Amino acid sequence: MPSVIFALQPRFFGTLALVALLCASSFAWYFSLSGPAIGASGGGGALVRQVAAMSTPAGAAAAAGGSSPTGAIVVYVTVPSAEVGEALAGKLVEAKLAACVNILPGLTSVYFWDGKVNKDPELLLIIKSREELLGELTSFVRANHPYDEPEVIGLPILGGSPSYLQWLMDNTDRKAAAAAAAAAEKQ
């Protein structure tokens, strides 16, 4: 029995670290919101309107420079299968809406939909992008995702390796990519 426990320890600690990271990111985002956004009555209607506005291209542009001091964000999107996740990840990176997408298997999502509690296996996409691209990224996911209401949640990246963050910004610079493509086309 001890050999079985030892064999499971790395996976357990990896999963535990991932859950801690997801929780810490979510708490950091939540507590970075201003108090009045939640509303005086304690309801989340104002917060929902604020987030919905940020999820449109115009709203995301207005929010640029807002909650992410680095200008970079992490976006969570769940998908039903590896095939869907890989296809969506490839399209996002190709469109320069993401610098990198991690695909994490083994999630179980429990959620309320169509009047009942559902439980489904899913995969999680962790998408690294720019805050200013959140609206366009959200629209892209909605247009290319099989779910009626796909999860698209953007969180600020508060800091990290400066060279990695520069790489992220360089690989989501859509204007530079368009200029390079135009220059290559002229040759």
In a domain, 77, yes or no: yes
Q: Tell me, what's the pLDDT at 53?
A: 52
Q: Tell me, what's the pLDDT at 103?
A: 98
Domain check: are 69 and 138 in the same one?
Answer: yes
Domain check: are 9 and 81 in the same one?
Answer: no
Count of structural domains within the chain: 2
The pTM score is: 0.66
Q: Tell me, what's the pLDDT at 79?
A: 98
In a domain, 37, yes or no: no
Domain check: are 73 and 7 in the same one?
Answer: no
Domain check: are 52 and 127 in the same one?
Answer: yes
What are residue 161's phi and psi, to 5 degrees? Answer: -65, 120
Which of 137, 181, 130, 119 lies closest to 156, judged by CA?
130
Q: Tell me, what's the pLDDT at 49?
A: 47
Distances (CA, A) of 67 to 3, 4, 137, 145, 155: 46, 44, 17, 27, 9
Tell me the mean pLDDT per 10 residues along the chain, length 187: 47 51 50 43 46 48 66 98 98 98 97 96 98 97 97 97 97 84 77
Domain check: are 109 and 167 in the same one?
Answer: yes
Q: What is the per-residue pLDDT across 157-173, written as a single tens digit (0 to 9) for each? A: 999 999 999 999 999 99
In a domain, 158, yes or no: yes
Record the tokens describing residue 129, joined without a space. 């992008």
Q: How far apart are CA 46 and CA 19, in angstroms?
A: 28
Domain check: are 128 and 150 in the same one?
Answer: yes
Domain check: are 63 and 103 in the same one?
Answer: yes
Domain check: are 141 and 73 in the same one?
Answer: yes
Domain check: are 111 and 142 in the same one?
Answer: yes
Q: Tell me, what's the pLDDT at 186?
A: 82
Which ranges in the chain belong to alpha helices (H)? 2-32, 45-54, 57-63, 82-94, 134-144, 162-170, 174-186
Domain check: are 79 and 169 in the same one?
Answer: yes
In a domain, 59, yes or no: yes
CATH number, domain of 102, equals 3.30.70.120
SS3 36: helix
- Residues of the domain holding 22: 1-32
Q: Tell me, what's the pLDDT at 43?
A: 47
Q: How far apart are CA 11 and CA 96, in angstroms?
A: 32
Q: What is the per-residue pLDDT across 29-50, written as a single tens digit (0 to 9) for each? A: 444 444 444 334 444 444 344 4
In a domain, 57, yes or no: yes
User: Radius of gyration (Cα) for the chain, nearest Å?
Assistant: 19
